[in-house]
Structure 1
Amino acid sequence: MPPVFRFAPSPNGFLHLGHAYSALLNFDRARETGGRMLLRIEDIDATRCRPEYESAIYDDLAWLGITWETPVRRQSAHLADYRAALDNLSALGLVYPSFESRAEIARLVAAREETGPWPRDPDGAPLYPGAAKSLPAEERARLIGSGAPYALRFDMAAACRRVGGLTWRELGEGPDGERGRVAARPEAWGDVILARKETPTSYHLSVVVDDALQDASEVVRGQDLFHATSVHRLLQTLLDLPEPTYRHHRLICDEEGRKLAKSTGSTGLRELRAAGATPAGIRRLVGLD
């Protein structure tokens, strides 16, 4: 069976050089190995994803010379797949609703830090500080019935007790040079959100479901997602999904050493094209001569 690679952008902005690097790495790996190249549109966030950005993704990738199999998987068309996975985790007693707003969570963290630093996840965000896990079932039902907004959180401690130690095979390199068999440490993320009342899935949940359903065998993506692989391996094990190989690559950074991001207005491929850049020039810019 040929290896399967996928590039999975979100249509919440125009692609930049970092996206080009990741897409080209996947495409090159597929050609080198005689594998398949898939494109997935991660459009769960209805408030930020737009049709014009999705159209631009197809246009930019085609301009780079990248081809992919059709049909393209769009996450918004497969919500039932994520709901089924969430139901399976709920049946194991590993999901609970929390009702605090972002502002309330920030206040709770501030209160905890009056006596010392509060733990943070590998991305630097504070771990969930609330006590929703201990709410009585009747109170949870009352709050949900009242229409209160909520997030469905992963009971990380209970999940880790179920599976014990986990690893993954790393063909690339982590931020600290990790490679080979890497020990997963999902507990560092605390009780991550798996879904919200208005959004039926999260990145962590949808990515493992999609990779399994699309038979992704080598996941090529940026080092900024290296530590999140710990959560993904835990979910894969609990949901009895296959384990892909991972290849985390270096990030393309700006002149100040910050990784490129849509949120910071990083120069997009469209602007570079308009300024006269060529696909070969983009390859040179990202170090793929």
Structure 2
Amino acid sequence: MHAATTTTNRNSARERVRFAPSPNGLLHLGHARSALLNWRFAKAREGLFLLRIEDIDVTRARPEFEQAICEDLDWLGIVWPDPPRRQSEHFDDYRRALEELKKLDLVYPAFMSRAEAAGHIREAEAGGKVWPRDPDGVPLYPRQDRNLGAAERRRRIESGDPHGWRLDMRAALAGLTAGLSWRETGAGPAGETGEIAATPDVWGDVILARRDVPSSYHLAVTVDDALQDITTVVRGHDLFAATSVHRLLQTILGLPAPNYLHHDLVRDETGRKLSKSDGDVSLASLRRKGFGPEDIARLAGL
């Protein structure tokens, strides 16, 4: 049984925050808002601002985008200790965490491809089933792989069937001896603040290691925050609900729990949050048009 840890008030220690972009595109105003809020939070408390490059998706990460990230942050007046932590250089850290979860029998091999899972869900919905979805609106992973017997799992792994690893949410929650929560020093999308009850079950059996990468966002960010001694996680409302998963992993792995400060997102005139994949205006293009750092802060709502 793994006991639920409580969030630790580390205000007496030097604050450590991190800005953690993925080098798969250029930074936009939404990134500027988050980076500047982290930077100002650290400066106001004589703390430390860390840059983390979240490049576990090595197929999409590009060195030119990492260079552009550093140039944008430098232009905004943000400084950090070199070198930044690059997730691609620390896969062994994530493998060790995954091995701990395997020893606890809290993960299982997931053999279904995205296409196979999607097809299964479409078939179920066509038959009238209302398929559950996570807070981001993504259908939960089917239970077929979780229900496989140990011998069948072993046979398929030994035969070379491609697979990732997913958290057995039911088993993980069954092992808790107390409830989960986190300390929210900002506010959630609906104004939630203070001690927030975590509800990781709404995410289903989250992916922890993909077929071609020994980690996922959830596992990597949880391990990184612990290894970098992050005291407060300052990030956008779009990750508020995901904190429940991170608190569960922290508890199972015996990792410290930082405080969390979630902030508003920068949105366009239609209310859509900005996105690199949608080609939203980059900081680099605004800089070329003559905008200065003060203009960026104003446009980012600061």
Q: Flag whether TM exceeds 0.5 (same fold).
A: yes
Distance 1:161 1:264 in 2: 40
| TM-aligned CA deviation for residue 206 of structure 1 | 0.5
Equivalent position to 1:157, from 166, 170, 173 = 170
Aligned match of 1:55 in 67, 82, 90? 67
Note if contact 1:82-1:200 (Cα within 8 Å) is conserved in structure 2: yes
Shift in Å, 1:47: 0.8
Instruction: Mark the runs of 5 or more structure 2 residues left unpaired by the alignment.
Output: 1-12
How big is each residue's C-alpha offset from its partner over 1:7-28, in whole Å with a ceiling of 9 and x where there is no partner? 0001010001000000000000
Question: What does residue 6 of structure 1 align with?
Answer: 18
1:144 to 130, 153, 157: 157
**SS of the counterpart of 1:263?**
coil
Q: Which has the higher helix share?
A: 1
CA distance in 1, matches of 2:111, 2:295: 49
CA shift, 1:117, in A, is: 1.4
- Quote the Cα distance in structure 1 between the aligned partners of 2:301 and 2:128: 47
- Matched residue of 2:205: which SS? coil
What are the within-5 Å matches in structure 2 for residues 257-272 of structure 1? Answer: 257-272=271-286
Contact (CA 8 Å) 1:8, 1:41: kept in 2 or not? Answer: yes
Aligned equivalents of 2:64 and 2:156: distance in 1?
38
How many correspondences in the alignment? 288
The C-alpha deviation readout for 1:152-182, integer Å capped at 9, x for no partner, is 0000011011124100010111111111000
User: 5+ unaligned residues in a row in structure 1: which ranges?
Assistant: none
* Distance in 2, Cα, partners of 1:271 & 1:70: 26
For 1:37 and 1:235, the matched residues in 2 are separated by 24
1:176-218 CA distances to partner (integer Å, 9 max, x unpaired)? Answer: 1111000000000000100023100000001010000000000
Residue of structure 2 in register with 1:101 after alignment? 113
Partners in 1 of 2:204 and 2:283 — Cα distance? 36
Does the aligned pair in 2 maintain the 1:41–1:74 contact within 8 Å? yes
Structure-2 residue corresponding to 1:37: 49
Q: Please give the alpha-carbon distance, in whole angstroms, between the structure 2 residues aligned to 1:93 and 1:47.
A: 30
Partner of 1:118: 131
What does residue 236 of structure 1 align with? 250
Question: Offset at 1:245?
Answer: 0.3
- Aligned equivalent of 1:274, options 267, 288, 302: 288
- Is residue 183 of structure 2 the alignment partner of residue 169 of structure 1? yes
**Over the residues paired in the alignment, what is the CA RMSD in angstroms?**
1.0
Distance in structure 1 (CA, Å) of the matches to 2:143 and 2:220: 25
Q: Output the TM-score relative to the length of structure 2.
A: 0.93
Structure 1 residue identity aligned to 2:170: A
Q: Which amino acid aligns with 1:15?
A: L
- Partners of 1:108 and 1:130 within 8 A in 2: no
The 2-side partners of 1:151 and 1:125 are apart by 18
Q: Is 1:186 the equivalent of 2:181?
A: no
Report percent identity of matched pairs.
60
Query: Are the aligned partners of 1:98 and 1:132 in contact in 2 as well (CA < 8 Å)?
Result: yes
Matched, 1:217 2:231: yes
CA drift at 1:86: 0.5
Higher normalized contact order (CA 8 Å, seq sep 6+, divided by chain length): 2
CA distance in 1, matches of 2:250, 2:149: 29
Tell me the CA shift for residue 98 of structure 1. Answer: 1.3
TM (norm. structure 1) is: 0.97
For 2:34, give the aligned amino acid.
S
Superposed displacement of residue 116, structure 1: 3.0
Q: Which amino acid aligns with 1:101?
A: S
The alignment partner of 2:175 has SS state of helix
Partners of 2:211 and 2:297 lie apart in 1 by: 42
Deviation at 1:286?
Answer: 1.1
**Contact 2:111–2:145 (CA<8 Å) still a contact in 1?**
yes
- CA displacement at 1:271 relative to structure 2: 0.8
Displacement over 6 Å in runs of 4+: none
